[in-house]
Amino acid sequence: MNEYRKAFRIIWNIISILILLSIVIIIFVPQPFILKSLPVCEWQRVYDKPCYFCGMGRALTSLAHGHIYKAISFNWLSIPFVILLLANEIIWVLNRRKKS
């Protein structure tokens, strides 16, 4: 069981670092550059219906620049998604501090 716990911690560390990097990129890289780099939604292309993450890239960049209503108009799930990401980062930082 201890091996699974170590594996979980390693994966959690990697994911948390990637989330932190993504947050930094979204805040500091210009919004038009990020939006130009986003791929077309494969689900939308194939089924001609939006998926749950359609508009999430635009919504996250809008949130990072303080445009809450614009973010909600792109994808209302961006608000709970960001709350979950931030909660993960806070718990991860507190956990890292406790271990030090």
pLDDT in tens, 72-100: 999 999 999 999 999 999 999 998 888 76
Look up the pTM and report it: 0.80
Quick check: 16 and 89 in contact, CB under 8 A? yes
The distance of Cα 5 from the centroid of its chain, to the nearest Å, equals: 24
Res 76: pLDDT: 94
**Residues 42-66: pLDDT tens digits?**
898 899 998 888 999 899 999 998 9
